[in-house]
């Protein structure tokens, strides 16, 4: 595990700075205690990171669950009751893993996964622009198009124009300049610049800027524009930030419904993130999905027991980890320890970090996920790849993550059906001499009811007096719907004087009296 520590340690620092405001922001957006987000981030890093089979995935509280959490806390009558649902959700995830439900993640098309990554990249950019300019009306981690404050992504951008903070913008630009200089120039100059990551330098610059400027001046940074970590005055106060589930609420059916919802949504988000991170991984590691569900379930049980939010694998943190050179799960584990240590030892210092600097870090992450070149590449692959990709991107930008993926998947399924419709058979005219059409139709290996329309159209278009050679030697599965079409066509063929030769592994049959009887003689409905 420690083989790549020189890569994992710098990456973990970057992930830490990305995760810190997201943990706090998602907790705020969820209507939960701020400390609950940090608990989830710590558990997601240390526990889930240790148990997971993913080398580069990073877990923590997820924006996709914020709306569910917000509603559930109110519905269930308090945060302690909600924690019972989190624990139950974790147990259900364990059951999913035991039942090997992780295979579901493999059924999402590549175009949808790429659209998911690109859409998230665009969302990160759009959502971080206000923070970059010092307009923090919405919390970090609010990634939905329609925000909890009644605004939407684009209206928030317009409001930003009238609420620019000069100080936050200045240090944001400085931070962005450091990041670009570090990644494009300095990182190639020596080992030191590879070990010490640009985001760390940008954050230090932000803290220094805060101390050297007057908070109340035009160039200063107000408290609302800084990270806001809970600062306990004593050990007793620190321990008092933990919440514990009220298991008396376990008899409430609503708790079980919320628990199942958390398990389902968290598992789906995790599996999608696993697919996405594996695609981003330059070393092409493959994550065992069932093990991931077991790890996530364990993490959610522990998080719920000590007052944390639900946990999933998160694409924003995972992509930041990959882009920063993370090689093993050690980077995720270290980032969890960094969250824990910083909350215990230096919460006051963390509260001096400008959000605009962290926004600059996320802008770089977003751009790397949504490079314009990817749109060109997907377009060049043809409409069957480009359409699901585009719909997924638009769906994520204008709704939310899961809805956008659902839209892309639906379009992907339609594309598959169209391809299936087109690929049911191969048809060509072998001889057209003397006005006599000799036509050969070769059926595909699997022909289902999806192919009814295509085959029916071809049969109806056969000219009178023609000869049809129907080759089913390659067909391993022939749906009953297709057999019925052939049975009905046999009557029409007689009326139109069409001669049919059925070629199968059992030989050649001239104008079969019954296609149903013929194919029933063959096991697996094949010829």
* Residue 452's CATH number: 3.30.750.24
Identify whether the C-beta of residue 474 lies closer than 8 Å to the C-beta of residue 446: no
Q: What is the pLDDT of residue 141?
A: 66
Stretch (H or E) spanning 186 = none
Q: Give residue 453's pLDDT band: very low, low, confident or very high (50, 70, 90).
A: confident
Q: Give residue 214's pLDDT band: very low, low, confident or very high (50, 70, 90).
A: confident
**Residues 84 and 130 reside in one and the same domain:** yes
Tell whether 442 is covered by a domain.
yes
Q: What is the pLDDT of residue 257?
A: 95
Domains in the chain, number: 2
Interstrand relation of 59-61 and 467-471 (parallel, antiparallel or unpaired): unpaired
Q: What is the pLDDT of residue 526?
A: 42
Q: 52-56, 70-74, 450-454: lowest mean pLDDT where?
A: 450-454
Domain that holds residue 434: 425-525
**Residues 380 and 505 reside in one and the same domain:** no
Q: What is the pLDDT of residue 247?
A: 95
Q: Give residue 342's pLDDT band: very low, low, confident or very high (50, 70, 90).
A: very high
Stretch (H or E) spanning 180 = helix 166-184
**Residues 26 and 138 reside in one and the same domain:** yes
Q: What is the pLDDT of residue 426?
A: 61
CA dist 468 and 436 (Å) reads 11
CA dihedral (399, 403, 407, 408) positive or negative: positive
Q: What is the pLDDT of residue 106?
A: 77
Which of 377, 396, 415 delimits the end of a domain? 396
Mean pLDDT computed over 150-177: 90
Tell whether 151 is covered by a domain.
yes
Tell whether 419 is covered by a domain.
no
CA dist 46 and 58 (Å) reads 10
Q: Is the pLDDT of residue 48 over 80?
A: yes
**Residues 391 and 431 reside in one and the same domain:** no
Query: Is 426 or 447 the better-scoring residue by pLDDT?
Result: 447
Tell whether 405 is covered by a domain.
no
* DSSP summary character for residue 468: E
Mean pLDDT computed over 405-434: 72
pTM of the entire structure? 0.80
**Residues 443 and 391 reside in one and the same domain:** no
- Closest to 102 (Cα-Cα) out of 347, 303, 308, 290: 290
CA dist 34 and 49 (Å) reads 22
**Residues 373 and 440 reside in one and the same domain:** no
Mean pLDDT computed over 6-19: 92
Q: What is the pLDDT of residue 434?
A: 56
Tell whether 79 is covered by a domain.
yes
**Residues 139 and 225 reside in one and the same domain:** yes
**Residues 472 and 388 reside in one and the same domain:** no
Q: 32-41, 220-229, 412-421: lowest mean pLDDT where?
A: 412-421
Which of 348, 377, 396 delimits the end of a domain? 396
Q: Calculate the average pLDDT of the chain.
A: 88
Q: Is the pLDDT of residue 481 over 90?
A: no
Q: Is the pLDDT of residue 432 over 60?
A: no
**Residues 383 and 489 reside in one and the same domain:** no
Burial of residue 513 (CB within 10 Å: 0-12, 13-18, 19+) is exposed
Q: Is the pLDDT of residue 527 over 80?
A: no
The CA–CA distances, whole Å, from 327 to 9, 11, 55, 324 equal: 10, 9, 7, 9
SS3 432: coil
Q: Give residue 319's pLDDT band: very low, low, confident or very high (50, 70, 90).
A: very high
**Residues 112 and 239 reside in one and the same domain:** yes
Q: What is the pLDDT of residue 422?
A: 61
Tell whether 41 is covered by a domain.
yes
Phi-psi category of residue 77: left, alpha or beta, with phi > 0 → left and psi -120 to 50 → alpha? left
Tell whether 26 is covered by a domain.
yes
Q: What is the pLDDT of residue 183?
A: 85
Q: Is the pLDDT of residue 318 over 90?
A: yes
Q: Among residues of the chain, what percentage have pLDDT more than 90?
A: 47
Which of 375, 396, 417 delimits the end of a domain? 396
Q: Give residue 307's pLDDT band: very low, low, confident or very high (50, 70, 90).
A: very high
Mean pLDDT computed over 207-224: 89
SS3 475: coil
Query: Is 301 or 63 the better-scoring residue by pLDDT?
Result: 301
Q: Is the pLDDT of residue 35 over 90?
A: yes
Q: What is the pLDDT of residue 525?
A: 43
Q: What is the pLDDT of residue 175?
A: 95
Tell whether 441 is covered by a domain.
yes
**Residues 459 and 383 reside in one and the same domain:** no
Q: What is the pLDDT of residue 52?
A: 95
CA dist 23 and 29 (Å) reads 10
Q: How far is CA 96 from the centre of its chain?
A: 19
Q: Is the pLDDT of residue 95 over 50?
A: yes
CA dist 337 and 328 (Å) reads 15
- Closest to 287 (Cα-Cα) out of 337, 320, 322: 322
**Residues 383 and 443 reside in one and the same domain:** no
């Amino acid at each position: 595990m420690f083989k790549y520590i020189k890569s994992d340690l710098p990456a973990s620092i970057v992930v830490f700075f990305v995760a810190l405001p997201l943990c706090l922001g998602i907790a705020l957006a969820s209507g939960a205690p701020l400390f609950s987000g940090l608990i989830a981030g710590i558990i997601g890093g240390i526990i889930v990171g240790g148990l997971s089979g993913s080398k580069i995935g990073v877990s923590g509280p997820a924006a996709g669950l914020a709306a569910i959490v917000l509603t559930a806390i109110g519905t269930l009558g308090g945060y302690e009751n909600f924690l019972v649902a989190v624990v139950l959700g974790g147990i259900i995830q364990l059951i999913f893993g035991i039942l090997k439900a992780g295979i579901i993640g493999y059924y999402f098309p590549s175009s949808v996964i790429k659209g998911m990554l690109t859409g998230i990249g665009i969302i990160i950019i759009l959502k971080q622009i206000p923070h970059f300019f010092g307009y923090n009306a919405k919390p970090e981690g609010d990634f939905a198009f329609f925000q909890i404050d009644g605004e939407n992504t684009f209206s928030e951008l317009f409001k930003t124009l009238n609420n620019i903070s000069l100080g936050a913008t200045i240090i944001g630009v400085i931070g962005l300049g450091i990041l670009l200089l570090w990644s494009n120039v300095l990182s190639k100059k020596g080992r030191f610049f590879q070990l010490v990551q640009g985001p760390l330098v940008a954050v230090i610059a932000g803290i220094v800027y805060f101390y050297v400027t007057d908070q109340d001046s035009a160039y200063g940074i107000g408290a609302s524009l800084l990270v806001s970590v809970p600062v306990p005055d004593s050990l007793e106060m620190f321990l008092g930030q933990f919440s514990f589930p009220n298991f008396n609420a376990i008899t409430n059916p609503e708790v079980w419904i919320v628990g199942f919802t958390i398990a389902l949504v968290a598992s789906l988000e995790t599996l999608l993130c696993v697919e996405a991170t594996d695609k981003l991984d330059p070393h092409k590691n493959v994550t065992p999905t069932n093990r991931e569900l077991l790890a996530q379930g364990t993490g959610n049980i522990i998080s719920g027991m000590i007052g944390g939010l639900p946990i999933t694998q998160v694409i924003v943190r995972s992509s930041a980890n990959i882009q920063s050179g993370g090689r093993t799960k050690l980077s995720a584990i270290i980032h969890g320890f960094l969250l824990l240590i910083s909350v215990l030892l230096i919460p006051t210092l963390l509260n001096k970090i400008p959000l605009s600097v962290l926004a600059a870090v996320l802008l770089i992450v977003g751009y790397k996920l949504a490079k314009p070149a990817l749109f060109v590449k997907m377009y060049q692959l043809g409409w069957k790849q480009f359409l699901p990709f585009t719909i997924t991107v638009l769906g994520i930008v204008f709704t939310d993550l899961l809805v956008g993926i659902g839209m892309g998947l639906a379009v992907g399924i339609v594309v598959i059906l169209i391809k299936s419709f087109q690929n049911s058979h191969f048809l060509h005219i072998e001889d057209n001499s003397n006005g006599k059409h000799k036509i050969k139709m070769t059926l595909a290996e699997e022909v289902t009811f999806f192919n009814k329309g295509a085959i029916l159209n071809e049969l109806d278009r056969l000219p009178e007096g023609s000869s049809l050679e129907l080759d089913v030697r390659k067909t391993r599965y022939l749906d009953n719907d297709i057999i019925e079409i052939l049975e009905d066509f046999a009557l029409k063929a007689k009326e139109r004087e069409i001669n049919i030769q059925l070629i199968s592994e059992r030989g050649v049959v001239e104008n079969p009296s019954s296609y149903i009887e013929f194919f029933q003689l063959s096991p697996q409905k094949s010829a």
